[in-house]
Amino acid sequence: MKAIASLVVFLVASAGLAQGFKVVTVDDLYRALPDPKTFVIDVRTPQEYARGHVPGAVNWPLQQIEQWWSKVPKDRVVYVKCNTQNRSRVAVQYLLSRGYRNLNLVTGGIQAWMARGYPTTR
């Protein structure tokens, strides 16, 4: 069963690379947080964000992407997350279409983050 799960993660990650972004885990994000080049975007609603988010993450809801996409720093490594990864994937695709690179789609979102016991901010 573990081998199947590893294969699924590999296939999802490979698909992401082919599309111009990386698919990463919450463990990868946790290790990247101390790096000042890391920029985390939480695309959940303000209500979801208020219940707990990754420390330092900005809350730019997917529903308002046309208002904030141009503020995404192109000189940083961007991690996009949501509750699981569905909205994040939409946001990453949108940013790719606008010429952004250095994008990372965080699999599992805040649910996986909290399941690992990583810190959250309210």
Q: How far is the CA of 36 from the CAs of 40, 60, 110, in angstroms?
A: 11, 19, 21
**Known active-site residue 82:** yes
Angle made by CA atoms 101, 111, 97, in degrees to the nearest 5: 20
Q: Which of 82, 91, 95, 105 is catalytic?
A: 82
Answer for the pair 21, 105: CB distance below 8 angstroms, yes or no.
yes
Whose tokens are 């992407």? That residue is 65
CA-based nearest residue to 15, from 79, 94, 89, 112: 89
Catalytic residues, by residue number, are 82
